[in-house]
Amino acid sequence: MAPATSNHPDSKEEVGQHSAGPRPSTEDRLAGLSQQLQSLLENAISTPGRWHMLLDTSATLWRYSGGNIALLMAQMEERGQQQPLLVAGFREWERHGRNVLKGEQALWVLAPRTATKKTETNPEADAKSSVTLADQASGGTKETDRRKIVGWRAQAVFDVSQTEGQPLYIPRPMMEVGSSPMGLWSSLVKFAQNQGFTVEQSMSQYGLSSGYTDFAGRKIQVGAWLGQEQRVAVLAHELGHACLHGPDDKLGKLYGSGLDHRGLAEVEAESVAYTVLRAHGIDRSAQSGSYLAGWADQVVAVEQSKLSEPRVGKEPTSRLEIARSTLARVTSACRSILEVTQPHNLGGKPATSGVTVAYERGDLTGPVAGGQTLNTTPTIDAS
């Protein structure tokens, strides 16, 4: 197919391909995205295997928020296409030497509308503009030092499979069972230290468990008797607890964390471990299966436990709110960890302009973008 020309309707990132007739309004677009996200989460609760699929997609698109990962996944599935690998706007692909194919329909994600904090605005109006959809997509917002989020907009993006041009290798490293990437353990330990925890390998574990997080002593213990891959997996699991289930975390308490991690908190921690390892090419489906298969039951259990209690603040109470919160928390924790461990995959976004990343040919098991071949060098040049 021919590449899109400069007057392609998606030349601007927030303007997508439309069929004949009036274009959807911003409100209609946001409402449609909200419904897509709600349907996916409902499906994930009724069919627990969908949670596993969400985590697999999160391992590929880990630089995106949980809600946007879900939206991209839902839209690609709706079209009967493969899961997204690298996603960028029309102009961003052009800067990477690739063009959107003519006739391709945009995928839609949510992007914030921001204003400087000094700008005089109506707080009530700002609160109304930060619609529930925003929380569904990102699990909440974080204000920067100088700007604040005052609303949300739909932004058009395209997967690499919808483009052609400069060949790009898609790095998708896969490891053999029983091994782990060199340096992964040390990078996980570094992340723990950044969070104020020391990591110890011990033959004397609390409660005979393979791993334990001591918030009072700021210490994580991992069983010294475990094999290499298992030690890495246990540490990643405990880092999930360290990120999400501290004594001051209200949602962690709601989800069952405490002296002995239980309930949805345990599912959250294992989801973090599974996703982090998957992003590094380690498939822990079999080992994580019992944890992840019970995620929907835990969501429902938390909902039922809250039905008889008065709502306190912004605590999620319905199963959809709890599922949305869980997805946002897990993907946020994974992003924090993976920004330190730096897996070979690109997290769903093309490499930063001007950066050339080289890989050994044996690590590049994924397809070449756009069906193109590149036989000369295993180098990704994303400049």
pLDDT at 316: 79
Q: Where do we find the tokens 């920067």?
A: 144
CA distance 29 to 35: 10
Of 26 and 107, the structure prediction assigns the larger pLDDT to: 107
CA distance 130 to 210: 43
Question: For residue range 324-376, what is the model confidence (pLDDT) as tens digits?
Answer: 999 999 999 999 999 999 998 889 988 764 333 333 222 323 333 433 332 22
Of 300 and 20, the structure prediction assigns the larger pLDDT to: 300
Q: Could you please report the per-residue DSSP string of 52-67?
A: HHHHHHHHHSTTS-HH
- Which strand (E) or helix (H) includes residue 87? strand 87-88
Of 87 and 357, the structure prediction assigns the larger pLDDT to: 87
pLDDT at 317: 77
**Do residues 327 and 70 make contact, with C-beta atoms less than 8 angstroms apart?**
yes
**Do residues 181 and 232 make contact, with C-beta atoms less than 8 angstroms apart?**
no
**Do residues 151 and 121 make contact, with C-beta atoms less than 8 angstroms apart?**
no
Res 26 pLDDT > 80: no
Structural Rg of the chain based on CA atoms: 22
pTM beyond 0.85, yes or no: no
pLDDT at 312: 59
Question: For residue range 262-292, what is the model confidence (pLDDT) as tens digits?
Answer: 688 889 999 999 999 999 989 888 888 888 8
Confidence bin at 174 (pLDDT 50/70/90):
low
Burial 352-375 (b: 16+ CB within 10 A, else e): eeeeeeeeeeebbebeebbeeebe
CA distance 277 to 292: 15
**What is the average pLDDT value for the chain, to the nearest integer?**
76
Q: Where do we find the tokens 């976004």?
A: 349
Confidence bin at 22 (pLDDT 50/70/90):
low
